[in-house]
Structure 1
Amino acid sequence: MPNKILIIFAHPLFEKSNAHAALVRHIPGSPNITFHDLYQEYPEFDIDMKREQELLLLHDIIIWQHPMYWYSCPPLLKQWIDIVLEHGWAYGREGKALKDKILMQVITTGGRRENYSPTGRDRFTIMQLLEPFNQTAKVCNMTYIPPYVVHGTHSMDMAGYEKCGSEYRAVLEYLENKGVNLSEISKYPYFNDWFQTKIS
C-alpha cells in the first residue's frame, strides 16, 4: 500500500519565490499526494479546523512546506498549528488522532548550510531552530523526521532551482512508495543527507 502524503504549504509571497515555484511544480500528480496551499485557502486566516483535521486523518505522512521566516514558519502555518492541533484531538489524555503519523518539514532559506552552525552567522543548526516543531510532533504522538532543506536560494540560478525541484519529486515518490527507515534516518541532520544514501 502506498503512503498517502499531505503537503501543507505556507508561503505568503509564493508569487515571488523561484525556489518554491520549482518545488511545487515538481510535485508528482499522484492520487496519493495532496497539495494544500494555506494562503490560497485561507487568505483571511479563517481556518476551518474540522476540515483540516479531516484532511490529516486521510494521510500517513504530513509535510509542512515553507520558507524559513525569522527562524520559524510563516504566521498562517503557526495559526494552523494553534487551531488545528486541538487539545483532546491531537494531544492530551484523549488526543490520539495523529498517533504514529510521520511529520517532516520542507524548508527553504537564503543562507548557506555553513551559516547554520555554532560558528556561523545564524549561530544554531537548522535542527536546533526547528526543535519547537519537533516537540509539537512529539506532544501529538507523531514521529518527526529530519527536514528536507534547500539552502542558498538567494544566490541560486534557474538550473539550481530546477535541480532542487527534480530532487523533491524523487523524495516524494520515494516517500509515497517506500516510506522511511526511522532508525536510519534519525542519524542524519537533514532528510537530504539520508536520501543521498538511497539514490547513490
Structure 2
Amino acid sequence: MHKILVLFAHPALQKSIAHKSLFNAIQNIDGITCHDLYDTYPDSFIDIKHEQTLLLNHDIIVLQFPLYWYSCPAILKEWQDLVLEHGFAYGEHGDKLVGKKLMLAISTGGSMNSYSTAGYNEHDISQFLLPFSQMSKLCNLEYLTPFVVHDIHKRYDPARIARKAKEYRQLLLTLQQNDDAVAARQENC
C-alpha cells in the first residue's frame, strides 16, 4: 500500500468553496497524511528537516491548492524553494525523491473551456501547470495527471462539490492501493 502525503495550501480556508470539502473528505484515512501548511506554519517559518522527513516517509505527494493567478499560494512556493533543496531533491546527491510520485489537486475559478486555446485563458490547464511538471522532473518525481475542479465561482453547487470530494477521496484510496491506477495517471500526463 502506498503512503500518501497531502500538502494542503489554502490561505483563506474559511472562504473556501471547494477545498474545504475536498480536504475534509480525505481526513482520517490510514496511510494518508493530511498536512495543512498554513495551519502548521502561521508565521511562514517552514521546518525544512521535518518537511523533508515527511517526503521521505511517503510514496505519493499530493499538492492541493486553489490556482491563484495561474500559480500556487505563497506558502507552497516558499515550501518548494526551501524544502526541495540541492543535494536533497535534485543536483549532486539529490536523489532522495527518486521513484516517488507527485500529483496536483487544484481548483480553478474558470471553466474547463476557459482553459483552452479558444478560451479566455488561451491555454490548456496543463500549460499553466508546466512549472510543477518541470519541478517534478528535476526532483526525480513521477508526475501524475492532476485532479482538477473547474468553474468554482460560477458553477457553485453544493451537490457538485460533494461529488467532487467523493471522487477525490476515491481517487486517493485507489492510488493508495493500486499500482495500475498510478501507472494510468502517469500515462495520461
Quote the Cα distance in structure 2 between the aligned partners of 1:98 and 1:186: 16
Residue of structure 2 equivalent to 1:193: none
Residue of structure 1 equivalent to 2:75: 76
Conserved 8 A contact 1:67-1:74: yes
Conserved 8 A contact 2:143-2:186: no
Quote the Cα distance in structure 2 between the aligned partners of 1:110 and 1:130: 15
Conserved 8 A contact 1:28-1:173: no
Quote the Cα distance in structure 1 between the aligned partners of 2:2 and 2:112: 30
Q: Count matched residues.
A: 188
Conserved 8 A contact 1:89-1:95: yes
CA shift, 1:28, in A, is 4.9
Quote the Cα distance in structure 1 between the aligned partners of 2:129 and 2:108: 13
TM-score (norm 1): 0.90
Quote the Cα distance in structure 1 between the aligned partners of 2:157 and 2:181: 33
Deviations 1:16-55 (A, max 9, x none): 1121111012115222000000000111110000000000
CA shift, 1:110, in A, is 1.3
Conserved 8 A contact 1:28-1:172: no
Q: How does 1:81-120 map to 2 (within 5 A)?
A: 81-120=80-119
Q: How does 1:131-142 map to 2 (within 5 A)?
A: 131-142=130-141
Residue of structure 2 equivalent to 1:130: 129
Q: Secondary structure at the match of 2:132?
A: helix
Residue of structure 1 equivalent to 2:62: 63
RMSD value, Cα: 1.3
Quote the Cα distance in structure 1 between the aligned partners of 2:49 and 2:105: 24
Q: Secondary structure at the match of 2:105?
A: strand
Quote the Cα distance in structure 2 between the aligned partners of 1:21 and 1:186: 27
Residue of structure 1 equivalent to 2:21: 22
Conserved 8 A contact 2:27-2:34: no
Residue of structure 2 equivalent to 1:163: 163
Structure 1 residues not aligned, in runs of 5+:
190-200
1:50 aligns with 2:31: no
Residue of structure 2 equivalent to 1:188: 188
1:133–1:69 distance in 2 versus 1, CA, 3 Å: same
Residue type matched to 2:117 in 1?
P
Conserved 8 A contact 2:174-2:181: no
Structure 2 residues not aligned, in runs of 5+:
none
Deviations 1:30-88 (A, max 9, x none): 22000000000111110000000000000000000000010010010000000000101
Quote the Cα distance in structure 1 between the aligned partners of 2:128 and 2:48: 27
Quote the Cα distance in structure 1 between the aligned partners of 2:113 and 2:62: 25
CA shift, 1:113, in A, is 0.3
